[in-house]
Structure 1
Amino acid sequence: MKWKSIRYRLEYMVFKCLVAIVDSLSYRQSVMLAHGLAHMLFFWLPRKLTRYEVCRENLKIAYGDDLSDERADEIILGMWRHLIRVIFEMIQMPRKLRRENFRECITFHNRQRAVSAYLSERPRIVLSGHFGNWELSLVSFGLFGFYVGAVARALDNPYLHDWFKDFREQSGHYMILKSGASEQISQEMERAGAVAMLGDQDAGRRGLFVDFFGKPASTFKSIGLLALQYDAVICVAYARRLPDDFVNSRWVRYEIGTEEIIDPRDPQFSGDVRAIAERYTEALERIVRRDPEQYFWVHRRWKSQPGMKAKPKKKQPAKVA
């Protein structure tokens, strides 16, 4: 236990040093550093550490034989560049992105649909995936007074967890820990509030299997159930990084978009959880297909498959009176 505490402190110290360095860099310098670190991760580190085989397996499932080995490696390298840049952008965001210069960095797609849904008097579920800069989407909502309860998993390192929690809450949102989140989410729905969550992770053997890239993927039932139970509108959103422009831009450029609005009142859903899950999963797939380098291929999205048996529970040793 003592060693774990020491390790967490050391990890946090290294992270804080990185924060200090990155926060002092210019736009171009931070991009160059991110690309250099991604190159080291991809070419120098053992592939087991970077979960290369998991990424390749996921891409094989998603694209089949249409994807060459060269293109697969391009996507994986691009993914690492993107993920490192996301962390760098989070570090720089408080001093780089403000309401006054928002239009220099952000463009919108289907903005009116999102605003109309958000200004309704009904509960809202802002749904996205591990794509683009999902943290930037939250900050963008907060800058204009649209606050949400952000559902997220607690990080193992408590010091890093507190840093990310402070980052998310500085723009007016509050965190809902994924473990035991149902009560807080229900309270938010009952008062016609809004929650933000990521809906593209494996839901285990008890999940609802719907196609993602044409292959069955275990999907959480809870999103559709919440929408039906509380008459909540689902807004499938994304934040997609646009090509860099070092000449005319002082920082990164993103497109924040609404891919789909799912209203459980629509007759085509009529209380059907599966139909809702299929609709938002199709929307997430369209988002990923446009820019696969900006998706988190490290996660084993197709880990669970239909027909897999649940693992038997381990027998607990008998208690001695």
Structure 2
Amino acid sequence: MAEDTADSKISPPPRDEHEEKRPGKLRAIQYWFEWALLVAFWRILTLLPWQTALAVGAGAGEIAYRLGIRRKVVLANLAVAFPDWTNDQRRRVARQSYRNAGRTLAEYVLLPSLRPDQLEQLVEQVEGLGYTDLVEAGRKPVVVLTGHIGNWELMGAYFARMGYSLKALAKPMHNPRIESALLQTRRSLGLDVLYTGEGLKPAVRHLRQGGIVVFLADQDARKAGIPIPFFGKPASTALGP
């Protein structure tokens, strides 16, 4: 990832109205520090062989878990989902989840360097599912509904390499430097992003042009969603396509 990605000419995404209100200078310093850490980590990974990079990614996830980054939130969610589990079971699953997230990040960093045949080896072909019908049906408007499960970026890169025009509906990150860097990487993979603040007209336009619009609808929709019971608790859920 080039160092100038944060200062690229890509138009900044619409800002999230729920962004935490911090003093401007303090927020700018925080964003720069987060971006610098990501750039350093990114460059280290690109110098490593595939399996070594995945191991380093898992190690970074382990560090994040031990530092307690959102660990209380993860453990609280596991307690809701698995009330019969012991604390040790929840901690073990949470730790593995952090390690897996680190590996997923490492995969994402290395995706642009993979040849099409290498990318295809990472995707398990399953017959009888919707995406198989999509491949066989040819170019036509398609809406894909999924979640942040496994390496969702790999799915998008795979279909883009097959020649499909993908755009994902997403909420911009709080850190505009990181958002810009990730957007450049996605575009290098043949993907693009439609930001939630832009409304649905760009998504409809892309569908009419025969493209694919992807909704990752498993995040808090806040005031834009409707409350749906989820594990016995109300969760603000996107209305969906």
TM superposition score normalised by structure 1: 0.60
Deviation at 1:73, TM superposition (A): 0.8
Deviation at 1:98, TM superposition (A): 2.0
Partner of 2:116: helix, strand, or coil?
coil
Two-structure CA RMSD over aligned residues (Å): 2.5
Distance 1:207 1:102, change over 3 A: closer
Structure 2 residue 184 is matched with structure 1 residue 184 = no
Counterparts of 1:245-284 in structure 2, within 5 Å, are none
Give the Cα separation in 2 of the matches to 1:135 and 1:196: 11
Deviation at 1:205, TM superposition (A): 5.7
Structure 2 residue 13 is matched with structure 1 residue 13 = no
Counterparts of 1:282-321 in structure 2, within 5 Å, are none
Give the Cα separation in 2 of the matches to 1:205 and 1:181: 15
Structure 2 residue 133 is matched with structure 1 residue 110 = no
Structure richer in helix, relative to its length: 2
Q: Deviations over 1:250-305 (max 9, x none)?
A: xxxxxxxxxxxxxxxxxxxxxxxxxxxxxxxxxxxxxxxxxxxxxxxxxxxxxxxx
Counterparts of 1:40-189 in structure 2, within 5 Å, are 40-43=63-66, 45=67, 47=68, 50-65=69-84, 67-95=85-113, 97-110=114-127, 113-117=130-134, 119=137, 123-189=141-207
Please, which runs of 5 or more residues in structure 1 have no aligned partner?
A: 227-321
Distance 1:104 1:192, change over 3 A: closer
Give the Cα separation in 2 of the matches to 1:132 and 1:173: 18
Deviation at 1:57, TM superposition (A): 1.9
Deviation at 1:178, TM superposition (A): 1.8
Give the Cα separation in 2 of the matches to 1:42 and 1:84: 10
Asked whether the equivalents of residues 62 and 213 of structure 1 are also in contact (C-alpha less than 8 Å), the reply is yes
Mark the structure with the bigger radius of gyration.
Answer: 1
Q: Which amino acid aligns with 2:92?
A: E
Deviation at 1:68, TM superposition (A): 1.9
Higher deviation after alignment, 205-214 or 11-20: 205-214
Q: Deviations over 1:50-87 (max 9, x none)?
A: 2222212211221222x221221111111111111121
Please, which runs of 5 or more residues in structure 2 have no aligned partner?
A: 1-23
Corresponding residue of 1:219: 237
Give the length in aligned residue pairs.
217
